[in-house]
Amino acid sequence: MKIQTLFLSLSVMATLATSSCSDSSTGKDFIGKSTTTFENDLLSPEALWSLGRIGSYQMAPDNKMAIYNVTYYSVEQNKSHTILYKQDFDKNDNKLLTKTNDNERGPVFFNNGKKVLFLSNKSGSNQLWTMNADGSGRKQVSDLNDDISEFLLSPDEKQLILIMEVEDTTNIQKNDEDLSLSSGMVINNYMYKHWDQFVKTIPHPFLAEFDGKSVTVKKDILEGEPYECPMLPFGGAEQLAWSPDSKTIAYTCRKKTGVDYATSTDSDIFLYNLEEGSTRNICKPEGFVEPETEATRSKQDQSINKQTEDCNMGYDQNPQYSPDGKYIAWQSMERDGYESDRTRLCVYEIATGKKTYVTESFESGVDTYLWGDDSQTLYFTGVWHGTIMVYKTNQEGDVQKLTDGTYDYSLVSLADEGQSLIVKRHSMSQADEVYKVALNDNNKVTQLTDENGSIYSQLTMGNVEERWIPTVDGKEMLTWVIYPPHFDSTKTYPTLLYCEGGPQSPVSQFWSYRWNFQIMAAHGYIVVAPNRRGLPGFGMEWLEEISGDYTGLCMQDQLSAIDALCKEPYVDKDRLGCVGASFGGFSVYWLAGHHNKRFKCFISHDGIFNTHQQYAETEEMWFPNWDLGAAPWTAEGKALKAYTDSPHLSVDKWDTPILCIHGMKDYRILHSQGQAAFDAALLRGIDAQLLLFPDENHWVLKPQNGVLWQRTFFRWLDKWLKK
């Protein structure tokens, strides 16, 4: 249920030209870099959508240039366009390589940096193309019947892993051939729906030969197996890796289907030997036997099969070989059924099978990581006290912090013969840009891209303040406070309590294109964003106090945060709003019945309204098994607080206007939850509004839907908090 997403509203532009132009060099209605100008310096939804979003970034082997992709959006056309840029460091300039309306992405250098391999939809489907490093000599090199969603080039540059969809009838059986126009689905097992789709196809990795001029598919590595790789719904090419000698592929897979799949997070790392065509699991010892019942899998008894470091029972994913080929690292969770367990960095010695966990002294999870050139050092990012920084560790587990500041970092690659890290960095006040961290120069950070500088130069962002607020049980809680631009402490402001989703996603320095704190501040609101109980970056005890107790200390923490800010003279305690999505939406629904008249309005997006209903409606059952505790119809479940304190049971105490928002393709939390909350409010005689998106999932991804979301969001807040 983890969620951190998109953006919000104001109509302040004199012109909004996201390069939706008819320039002959780019073609009709080309969506490219924005040339937006503004009437004032306040962030608006349209300005937010005009920002370029940097994707992959590839440094050339000689470190003299890079090729990267940027995605731009057109609200008018209601679509996006992903294009390629070449960055020349000697000339200190960028060159646009895309000249058409085709989407092009994922560039990779080969042939000593002279050539680039990339994906393009120019032929009507996603196929592989090559070009010279200067953008000339473009040529299509694959012409397959199916789209290629992602690819990995082997180190010897002679082979490829192609990610493509294959038909899957495990859960939804194929209709009779003479009923080809029927929309009916005969469903036989669990996981027939996942995230935002009915599961009729799944991704598989295909092995292909590549000679620089053409691509020849050889085989499906998981041929005949009803398992997905990469794992749905969020896995990508990072879940697979080539060995340095190009003879072995490491891949992530959860080899389960139906109820087994739905109740377990137990994925493993497999090694596929190209010469032998054999596969082995390096997360489980030979002779391992799966637990007999699903009940044991929700909270594993660690004595099963003598579970030790040789037997990984939780999520294991994202393998990477060391440069010398002697080790494989991956991200590993210890406990099955617990999606928010601490993500550790595991190092596996191939010759001996020894596993070492090298981030044990870091009491938080590993988000991204890279091997150092020496095959002994690993660099990683992780959240601590509301920021995501870069760290390094050795194989003895000695962790050192490398970066500072009020930012969030993610790792991209190594450069300068291992002497620099290429990273992305963002904050609550700036979207992703690419930077270099010089490891041989006191970790000096240098900005490499300036994708949105021309937009930021026209805007004034609100000040972001770090506060530590006392909790009801005598602890201290980090809370971010975001102030309106041109803040005047002699005035009073309406103030919003932001309830985080997840339920165990950090309130770090994230930049969102929907839940954007700066656009809320630009609308004249102070935003209070607490790192309440259940969020990572404050130790395991703090993280796990939410499991099985959704309405306990985590709710008191949120109320403590808003109550503390209400003591400030510039906060108008008679104009408070409460907003949130996913678990934050659940928080809103629960607080609506327990806020003691603190708030004047609520907004819940994709929130759980009825936990009894949620248990039977959602798809990944390991989540409610762990977080709620048991099924509501069991003897144990009937007594659990998760069900006896469900938000829908306190509707009789609702007394405040509420806006309910939901995507109808959200199969994690079905739209019936939002509709039920809206209906209940109306039946209680409470002012309410419902915003439904038939074509959106747990997020809102289409530009015009996004703008409608933000306009509705602020119209509702302004109606009740700016009277």
> For 30, which DSSP code?
B
Task: Look up the pTM and report it.
Answer: 0.94
Tokens of 394: 């050795």
Output the pLDDT for position 36.
80
Distances (CA, A) of 87 to 35, 483, 708: 20, 36, 36
**Number of structural domains, the chain?**
1
Residues with pLDDT less than 70, the chain: 1-27, 291-309
Q: How far apart are CA 35 and CA 50, in angstroms?
A: 9
Reply yes or no: is the peptide bond before residue 503 cis, omega within 30 of 0: yes
Judge whether 342 lies within some domain. Answer: no
Output the pLDDT for position 415.
97
Q: How far apart are CA 631 and CA 616, in angstroms?
A: 8
CB-based contact 190:262 (threshold 8 Å): yes
Our CA angle for 371, 375, 381, nearest 5°, is 25
Relative to beta strand 378-384, strand 400-401 is unpaired
Nearest alpha-carbon partner for 436 in 445, 425, 426: 445
Q: How far apart are CA 380 and CA 343, in angstroms?
A: 11
Helix and strand element counts for the chain (H, E): 14, 42
Q: How far apart are CA 470 and CA 465, in angstroms?
A: 16
> For 174, which DSSP code?
P
Residues 6+ apart with CB under 8 A from 628: 548, 550, 611, 614, 615, 637, 640, 642, 643
Q: How far apart are CA 593 and CA 558, in angstroms?
A: 14
Q: How many residues does the chain have?
A: 723
Q: How far apart are CA 286 and CA 615, in angstroms?
A: 35
Judge whether 716 lies within some domain. Answer: yes
Place of tokens 């029927």: 182
pLDDT digits (tens, 9 = 90+) for 421-446: 999 999 999 999 999 999 999 999 99
CB-based contact 640:668 (threshold 8 Å): no
Residue 644's CATH number: 3.40.50.1820
Q: How far apart are CA 196 and CA 668, in angstroms?
A: 8
Torsion sign over Cα 60, 62, 63, 64: negative
**Catalytic amino acids?**
582, 666, 698
Distances (CA, A) of 373 to 329, 417, 424, 533, 621: 14, 8, 20, 39, 41
Q: How far apart are CA 208 and CA 162, in angstroms?
A: 7
Distances (CA, A) of 127 to 139, 145, 156, 162: 11, 10, 21, 10
Burial of residue 596, with CB atoms counted within 10 A of its CB: 0-12 exposed, 13-18 middle, 19 or more buried? exposed
Question: For every residue of 626-666, which 3-state class applies, written as one string?
Answer: HHCCCCCCCHHHHCCHHHHCCHHHHHHHCCCCEEEEEECCC
Judge whether 636 lies within some domain. Answer: yes
Output the pLDDT for position 286.
79
Residues 6+ apart with CB under 8 A from 357: 309, 332, 344, 345, 346, 347, 397
Q: Tell me the three state secondary structure of residue 345.
A: strand
Output the pLDDT for position 27.
62
Judge whether 248 lies within some domain. Answer: no
Judge whether 162 lies within some domain. Answer: no
Q: How far apart are CA 254 and CA 268, in angstroms?
A: 6
Q: How far apart are CA 438 and CA 563, in angstroms?
A: 43
Nearest alpha-carbon partner for 122 in 106, 100, 92, 144: 100
Output the pLDDT for position 189.
96
Which residues on neighbouring strands pair with residue 217, listed in sequence order?
208
Instruction: Domain of residue 615: give its range.
Output: 458-721
Judge whether 323 lies within some domain. Answer: no
Reply yes or no: is the peptide bond before residue 484 cis, omega within 30 of 0: no
Judge whether 717 lies within some domain. Answer: yes
Tokens of 52: 């370029």
Reply yes or no: is the peptide bond before residue 230 cis, omega within 30 of 0: yes
Q: Tell me the three state secondary structure of residue 597.
A: coil
Judge whether 486 lies within some domain. Answer: yes
Which residues on neighbouring strands pair with residue 231, listed in sequence order?
none
